[in-house]
Amino acid sequence: MVTVLFAILLPIVCAALIPLLYRRLRRVAHLGWFVLSVPFILFLLLARYIPQIAEGKTFMHTYEWIPSFNINFTTYLDGLSMIFGLLITGVGSLVILYSIFYLSTKESLHHFYCYLLLFMGAMLGVVFSDNLMVLYTFWELTSVSSFLLIAFWHHRKASRAGARKAMTITVFGGLSMLAGFLMLYVASGTFSIREIVANVGIIRDHTLFSPALILILIGAFTKSAQFPFHIWLPDAMEAPTPVSAYLHSATMVKAGIYLVARFSPVFGGEAVWFWLVSVIGLLTLFWGSFNAVRQTDLKALLAFSTISQLGLIMSLFGLGSVGHYYGYAPDTVLYTQASFAALFHLINHSTFKGALFMMVGIVDHEAGTRDIRRLGGLMAIMPITFTIAVIGGFSMAGLPPFNGFLSKEMFFAAVLAMRNVEAFSIADLGLLFPIVAWVASIFTFVYCMILISRTFFGKLRLDKLDKKPHEAPLGMLFSPIILCLFVVGIFFFPNVLGHYILEPAMASIYPTFPSTSELTPHIHAWHGINAELLMTLGVIIIGVILFKTLKSWKPLYRIFPQRYTFNMYYNRMIEFSENSSAKLTNRYMTGNLTHYFVYIYVFFVALIAGYFIWSDASAFNFAKDSTIESYELILVFVMMFAAVWIIFAKGRVTAMLLNGVLGYSIAFFFVIFRAPDLALTQLVVESVTTALFLLCFKYLPDLMPEASRKKKQWSKAIISIFVGATVTLIGLAVVHFDRFKPVATYFNDSYELAGGSNIVNTILGDFRAFDTMLEVVVLLIAGLGVYTLTKLKPRKEETDHENQ
Amino acid sequence: MKINDVILRTITKTVVFIILTLGIYLFFAGHHAPGGGFIGGLVLASGIVLLYLAYDIETVHKGMPLDFKKVAALGVLLATGTAIGSLFFDVPFLTQTHSYINVPIFGKMGFSTVTIFEAGVALTVVGVVVTIILSISEDE
């Protein structure tokens, strides 16, 4: 199945092409029109496989990448990845279409679309990868591209702060997930998810199984903004609205949910898994909806509502894991319905939340503000936008005839079913599930009403708006209208979706169950007057009462300053780590060269001399040494004289010339000992450095006699003597050193192996070419460093554009 | 203060060619005799530095309009390029190869990919040394 590989690579390749082509394309049309073709083509390509997937087929394609480490680029297309693939490409197409009208050509569009395509490729990579390491790579790539997109308007301080926060939290989760993956690898011996699922019985008893479970869940929770990691999502709303609609409501934040769904066949039967996923999910559901009510910024409201809805889906997957515990039996199939509701709500949420985000973007674009304290009365001016808001909002609130109603009912049915479960001692707390779900749904209803009425009802206050509002252009309305058609369409024909999309996904979540048609219920809009319907009615009645009396109970929020608690802890943690690391670093990075030399030499002596003494390799004798000639003695005395004189030299030039004497004498020694290569190099290096020193001395002040204390000078002298002694020791001891196999055998064959009879150069260019290559790179970096440090100093008159 | 450096300039005119020739000789000699990319590059660089010392920067730049940062970058590109190039022939990273070809007039000659690698080393050395010395001396 090369299609899937193609689907991952096409967006990434196109992202790489944009910087090269955008200048030409920009003259033709808005860059978005070209980018739009990518997700649209991929959507059609993937949609072609729907019938085959619905029949229960799966497609796999393996490209061997690093087979020695079991890392293969394996793409796997099944029902679950199909849902996400369709969401990513489908919502992606609509969002890009919307962004064409949202972003003017004056923005740096090539950056925007480059990042967006990079994200799309990475996200497709996450859902289509079967190999854990490949999945992890793409996972982090989505974090990186999300960081770049949140900070798209990087001249704003809030954008940069939001991007950093999102990056810190999601990458922290990603790293913990990586640790979990490695533990799974240790337990199972494979990186392939499918093989892990197949061998789950064997690895369940491994000691690393539970730690892996928790670490992987941390990764999923941070990515899907679950309590208490949810704090990054509201700040991420600094991104342009198309990004919020795409990454932060429809796709990226659902990666965590994907991970939970994908791993539920592995961890599903565990009590820890059940409690963590469902309780954290319910907590997030409640906390998000509770906090959404108090928001005054429409996007912040939607952010908290997204957090809450993600919690709902997460908790449903947690409840559905009971089905794994019981295994396949006719009377327990009931419990798998939670997972079905989760998948169903996942799709529904993407449709109505996408439409709502686009609606808010339109309001922001046409009225100039998203603050509900300034908005109002837009219904008459923007009737189509209002319709979109009503459809999306009512669907989110769980009202018919919209798809949110169906999945909300199924959610209620799933939590009600928990009263009868005996596993994991759920029954004791069984009543708590429906109560929390119901209360959270009331708040959901309230904030949906706030969203609609504060924006579109009431009095229009033109004086408080930055622009004169008017209806958006058709192109901008097109995408949310399509999503609204889905919202309504899914309500009337839910079973088409159920059969073609959800049924094969259920098969991926419950691979051990023999028949999937039993897992797929027939979705009814009307199923008689039962507990679920009464709960919905209760939500509506109490929700309306709470909404009407909002003014009287809203001060409650001020009693506990909870909104800032988690943010405050996060900020304190960041501040603490910044301060303490700065303190630690400043303690040893004093900016004093002498100090740095002390570190280097002390480390050198401790390591090298320490090793020689520890390994007892410091023995030496002079018995085999050849006789010392008189001219050698003269050279040695010259060098000693020069070296001692340097210490007492008054001027820099004198010291440098004496250093030159030392260097040239060493070159002489190389000549005497028949090392022409070294002699040549030493001579030239000595000459070039002399020129360099002379240049530098022009800028330095005269050498000042050091006013340091005697004690300090003594310590320096001791360090110097130790360094000298160590070097001498090495020189004497290596002659007899036999701990490693000598590499000399290579040298004899250098002509045969490398085609050169100059041993030194065959080492440099062939045997140890890796060293040479990296040295060359280091050299370039050093050169560029000197260049930038001396040439690119900030000028005083240049103002700092950072914090506008 | 103006220094009359007629002697230095006159000597430089002749000596620079000797130094540059030596540098190129050392580069090619490196295969079987003392020399090689690093030392060849260093000698070339010292020749160029001598030019800069004897004449002023503008004059040298007129005769040799090179951006030495780019020379260094080209060198690194060559060195890493030969390293990566070996991957396209399905051999490990940095594998070097050599063979002997009969060239008219010169007779049997050895050719080796190490030469390209070493050329990269030499260019980097020339580029970096001249860049460092120029950027320090130009600094006001």
Q: Which among B26, B43, B135 is the nearest to A787, CB-wise?
A: B135
Structure tokens at A95: 């969002």
* Binary contact (A677, B75; C-beta < 8 A): no
Domain boundaries, chain B: 6-138
Query: In the prediction, which pLDDT does A53 show?
Result: 86
Rounded distance between C-alpha atoms, residue A17 and residue A20, angstroms: 5
The Cα A264–Cα A338 span in angstroms is 13
- Cβ distance of A755 and B110 shorter than 8 Å: yes
Q: Give the DSSP letter string of A502-521.
A: IHHHHHHHSTT-S-STTTSP
Is A758 in Cβ contact with B139 (below 8 Å)? Answer: no
A597 and A452 co-located in one domain: no
Task: Please list, in sequence order, all residues whose beta carbon lies within 8 angstroms of the beta carbon of residue A767, skipping any fewer than 6 positions away.
Answer: A746, A750, A753, A754
pLDDT tens, residue by residue, A565-620: 778 888 888 899 999 999 999 998 888 888 899 999 999 999 988 888 888 777 77
Q: What is the CATH number of the domain that holds A611?
A: 1.20.120.1200
> What is the number of H-type helices and E-type strands within chain A?
38, 2
The pLDDT assigned to A332 comes to 72
User: Are residue A536 and residue A491 in the same domain, yes or no?
Assistant: yes
Kindly state the DSSP code that residue A391 receives in the 8-state scheme.
H
Among A14-23, A79-88, B73-82, name the one with the lowest average pLDDT. Answer: A14-23
Structural domain includes residue A531: yes
The residue of A671, A673, A678, A684 whose CB has the most chain B CBs within 10 angstroms, and thus the best one to mutate to test that interface, is A684
- How many other CB atoms sit within 10 Å of the CB of residue A744? 8
Same domain, A369 and A334: yes
Lowest mean pLDDT among A114-128, A665-679, A775-789, B101-115: B101-115
pLDDT exceeds 90 at position A528: no
Instruction: State whether A393 and A539 are in the same domain.
Output: yes
User: Is A690 within 8 Å of A570 (Cβ atoms)?
Assistant: no
d(CA B105, CA A760): 30
Residue A156's alpha-carbon distances to A163, A296, A371, A507, in angstroms, are: 11, 20, 18, 46
Task: Please state, as a whole number, how many other Cβ atoms lie within 10 Å of the Cβ of residue A683.
Answer: 21
Does A571 reside within a domain?
yes
Q: Which two tokens stand for residue A666?
A: 């060493």
Whole-angstrom distance, CA of residue A552 vs CA of residue A561: 18
A547 with A582, same domain? no
Cβ distance A786 to B135 less than 8 Å, yes or no, reads yes
At A798 the pLDDT is 54
What is the reported pLDDT for A800? 52
- Judged by CB atoms closer than 8 Å, whether chains meet at B96 and A780 is answered as no
Spell B92-104 as b/e; 16+ CB within 10 A means b: eebbbebeeeeee
Would you call B41 exposed, middle or buried from its count of C-beta atoms within 10 A (0-12, 13-18, 19+)? buried
Which residue of A lies nearest to B42 if distances are taken between CA atoms?
A684
Do A534 and A496 have their domain in common? yes
- Write b or e for each residue in A627-660: b if 16 or more Cβ atoms lie within 10 A of its Cβ, otherwise e: eeeeeeeebeeebeebeeeeeebeebeebbbbbb
**Whether residue A796 has pLDDT greater than 60:** no
The rounded distance, in Å, linking the Cα atoms of A384 and A175 is 45
Comparing A21-30, A490-499, A711-720, the range with the smallest average pLDDT is: A21-30
CA–CA gap between residue A595 and residue A524 (Å, rounded): 77
Question: Among A532, A554, A576, which residue terminates a domain?
Answer: A554
Q: Does A676 touch chain B (CB under 8 A)?
A: yes
User: What is the model's pLDDT at position A248?
Assistant: 87
Closest CB to B72 among A761, A764, A780: A780
Q: Check if the beta carbon of residue A353 is closer than 8 Å to that of residue A371.
A: no
What is the structure's pLDDT at A6?
85
The answer to whether residue A465 scores a pLDDT higher than 80 is: no
Q: Which of B114, B125, B130, B140 to mutate to test the interface with A (most CBs of A within 10 A)?
A: B114
| Residue after which a domain boundary falls, among A554, A573, A606 | A554
**B139 in contact with chain A, both atoms CB, cutoff 8 A:** yes
The residue of chain B with its CA nearest to that of A758 is: B32
B36 and A764 in contact by Cβ < 8 A? yes
**Chain A residues near residue B84 by CB distance under 8 angstroms:** none
pLDDT classification of A698: cutoffs 50, 70, 90:
confident
φ/ψ (deg, to 5) at A255:
-60, -40
Q: What is the DSSP letter of A297?
A: B
Q: Quick one: angle between helices A255-267 and A337-367, nearest 10? A: 170
Work out whether strand B98-103 and strand A59-66 pair parallel, antiparallel, or are unpaired: unpaired
pLDDT reported for residue A704 = 66
Residue B23 Cα, gap to closest chain A Cα (Å): 11
Span A618-625, average pLDDT: 74
Q: Supply B49's token pair.
A: 């530095």
Q: What is the pLDDT, as a whole number, of residue A607?
A: 92
Q: What angle do CA A615, A620, A623 make, to 5 degrees?
A: 155
Name chain A contacts of B132, Cβ cutoff 8 Å: 692, 782-783, 786-787
User: Out of A50-59, A183-192, A288-297, A330-339, which region has the weakest mean confidence (pLDDT)?
Assistant: A330-339
How far apart (Å, rounded) are the C-alpha atoms in residues A678 and A662?
Answer: 15
Cβ distance B139 to A688 less than 8 Å, yes or no, reads no
Domain span at A778: 742-795
Q: What is the DSSP letter of A425?
A: G
Whole-number mean pLDDT of chain B? 84
Distance CA B64, CA B48 (A): 10
Whether residues A490 and A440 fall in one domain: yes
Dist. CA A156–CA A394, nearest whole Å: 34
Token pair listed for A277? 């996923």
Q: Which residue has 């290596």 as its token pair? A: A734
Residue A349's nearest CA partner among A282, A249, A270 is A249
pLDDT > 70? residue A450: yes
Q: How distant, in Å, are the alpha carbons of A175, A221, A277 from that of A183? A: 13, 18, 20
- Which long-range CB contacts under 8 A does B55-62 form with residues at least 24 apart? B55/B9, B55/B12, B57/B134, B57/B137, B57/B138
CA distance B13 to chain A (A): 19
pLDDT in tens, B37-75: 888 999 999 899 888 888 888 888 888 888 888 999 999
CB contact under 8 A, B30 and A758: yes
Q: A756 and B139 in contact by Cβ < 8 A?
A: no
Does residue A597 share a domain with residue A530?
no
Does A790 sit within 8 Å of B46, measured CB to CB? Answer: no
Residues of chain B with C-beta less than 8 angstroms from the C-beta of A684 = 39, 42-43, 46
Residues A349 and A406 in one domain: yes
The reply to whether residue A769 touches residue B94, judged by beta carbons under 8 angstroms, is: yes
pLDDT of residue A705: 63
Q: How far is B79 from chain A (nearest CA, A)?
A: 6
Does A753 lie at the interface with B, CB-CB under 8 angstroms?
no
User: Which element (helix H / strand E) includes A153?
Assistant: none
Task: Write out the DSSP string of A553-587.
Answer: HTTHHHHS-HHHHHHHHHHHHHHHHHHHHHHHHHH
What is the domain count for chain A? 4
Spell out a b/e string for A121-153, using b for 16 or more CB atoms within 10 Å of the CB, else e. Answer: bbbbbbbbbbbbbbbbbbbbbbbbbbbbbbbbe
CA distance readout (Å), A576 to A162, A165, A222, A228, A235: 19, 15, 21, 19, 21
> What does the CA dihedral A581, A584, A587, A593 come to, rounded to 10 degrees?
-70
Which tokens go with A99? 């962004």
Q: Is the dihedral of CA A220, A223, A224, A229 positive or negative?
A: positive
Q: What is the mean pLDDT of residues B21-46?
A: 87
Neighbours of A527 (CB within 10 A): 12
Q: Which of A676, A769, A786 sits opposite B34 (nearest CB)?
A: A676
Q: What is the token pair recorded at A648?
A: 């007492």
Q: Is residue A529 in some structural domain?
A: yes
pLDDT number for residue A769: 84
Gap between the Cα atoms of A252 and A248, Å rounded: 6
Residues A332-379 pLDDT 10s: 777 788 888 899 999 999 999 999 999 999 988 888 888 888 887 888
Q: Does A198 touch chain B (CB under 8 A)?
A: no
The verdict on A613 and A701 lying in the same domain is: yes
Residue A129 forms beta bridges with which residues? A75
- First vs last C-alpha separation in chain A: 50
Strands A59-66 and A71-77, by their bridges, are antiparallel
Which residue has tokens 């390749």? A13
User: A490 Cβ partners below 8 Å, 6+ apart?
Assistant: A347, A348, A351, A403, A406, A497
* Predicted pLDDT of residue A122: 93
Given a cut of 80, whether residue A702 has pLDDT beyond it is no
Cα–Cα–Cα angle for A640, A641, A644, nearest 5°? 80
Residues A498, A436 share a domain: yes
DSSP characters for A167-224? HHHHHHHHHHHHHHHHHHHHHHS--BHHHHHHTHHHHTTSTTHHHHHHHHHHHHHHHT
Query: How are the residues of chain A apportioned to helix, strand and coil, as percentages rounded to the nearest 5?
Result: 75, 0, 25
A703 pLDDT tier (thresholds 50, 70, 90): low
A641 and A533 share one domain:
no
How far, in Å, CA of A425 to CA of A422, rounded?
Answer: 6
CB-CB neighbours of A508 under 10 Å:
24
